Copies of this chain bind each other. A is one copy, B any other.
Amino acid sequence: VDNFFTPVPIHNIMQLGIILNVMVKSSKSKQNLFRDTTQRQLILEYLHRSLAHPTAQEIFRIIKKTLPRVSLSTIYRNLIILEKQGRVSSLSYSKNFTRFELNHGDHYHFICEKCDKVEHVNLDPLLELNSQLARRHDLVVNNHQLTFFGFCQNCQKKK
């Protein structure tokens, strides 16, 4: 279940709409192609225009407006597939739920401890840390996640 597709290089998937049916198991058969369903399209479209790093429930609520019979499990199943395809990335932190966004490549997040808002941060990826760590500890380091916590502009004012 884990290796039925190839991860796609990030620079190939920066724009929405590109078809990503990458096959692995058998490049001859028509099996294991991802289908282009309305539900999947709507999820991607919403993530494309949203800056809010929505949760699965929030996505569900939005899609429901267009597709009233959509189910939450469809949202979850699609998010899992889209993340495996490399089109969507997820962020978990102290809360016990996950937030999703389009995969924009390497970047970091700022999270407001008051209003919970998630923002992107303008900071160059610290890629050299990975190799530095790998050398020091004799590990294979694939990636890292850096998240800042504090108060956003709005919540500073309110205080």
Interface residues of chain A, those whose CB is within 8 Å of chain B, are 90, 92-98, 110, 113, 119, 121-123, 126, 129-130, 132-134, 136-153, 156
When all copies of this chain in the complex are counted, the total is: 2
Asked whether A110 lies within 8 Å of B136 as measured between CB atoms, the reply is no
Contacts of A90 in B (CB 8 A): 94
Given A123-B129, A145-B149, A147-B144, the answer on whether A110 and B137 have CB atoms closer than 8 Å is yes
CA distance A55 to B7 in the complex (A): 30
Decide yes or no: A144 and B139 within 8 Å by CB, A96-B92, A98-B96 being known contacts.
Answer: no
A123: which B residues are within 8 A, CB to CB? 129, 132-133
* A144 in contact with B153 given A92-B95, A121-B137 (CB within 8 Å): no
Let me know if A149 and B153 touch, CB within 8 A. no
Are the CB atoms of B150 and A141 closer together than 8 Å? yes
Contacts of A141 in B (CB 8 A): 110, 148-150
Q: Per a CB cutoff under 8 Å, which of B122, B130, B148 touches A144?
A: B148
Contact (A148, B121) CB under 8 Å given A110-B141, A142-B113, A156-B140? no
Cβ A121 vs Cβ B145 within 8 A? no
